[in-house]
Structure 1
């Protein structure tokens, strides 16, 4: 690559290299809470992550749920995220938003 090509590439945008937005996963309702998985891709694996929301006192409360667990398969990660989020809801209830 020549000097001018390198210089041009620094100042031009390449629309083919723009990152795609991650797909939005289907939400799951559980005991009045909504769990929306959002697996985080890390080095060929997926970290458990979700948004847990609930309408409280006419305000939508949100808790970001991120675990240290990583799983090789995206679908398995979504399933495990939902299971662990349900356990967290069972243990903490509304105090999850405190």
Structure 2
């Protein structure tokens, strides 16, 4: 059970008041907003981000979680931006259809 709590933020994470993961940093890229949300996992951080874009007056979002682990929160955030930018370049708005 503790594995599932760690994986889904049941322990060690610091979610915001609304239950969303805490945002380490954010930036705009090609009309999208990328919010790096590294997930604590033991002494490491899992690569995670929230990709958002307003389409037709509605904010659409895609939660990206990767298996990659990093020793620091900042390093995980920087790689989250790179991976999110790659996904945006490859998929564009289709990222919200899955």
**Taking structure 1 as the reference length, what is the TM-score of the superposition?**
0.75
Match of 1:51 in 2: 50
**TM-score, structure 2 length as denominator?**
0.75
**Separation in 2 of the partners of 1:70 and 1:91?**
23
The gaps in structure 1 that reach 5 residues or longer are 1-18
**Which residue does 1:32 correspond to in 2?**
31
Q: Highest CA radius of gyration, 1 or 2? A: 1
- Across the aligned residues of Structure 1 and Structure 2, the Cα RMSD in angstroms comes to 1.6
Runs of 4+ more than 4 Å apart: none
- Aligned-pair CA distance for 1:73: 1.3
Greater helix share, 1 or 2? 1
Aligned partners of 1:75, 1:21: CA distance in 2, in Å? Answer: 15
Specify the SS of the correspondent of 2:51: strand
Closer, same or farther in 2 for the Cα pair 1:66/1:29, shift >3 Å? Answer: same
Count how many residue pairs are aligned between Structure 1 and Structure 2: 80
Deviation at 1:33, TM superposition (A): 0.3
Structure 2 residue 62 is the aligned partner of structure 1 residue 63: yes
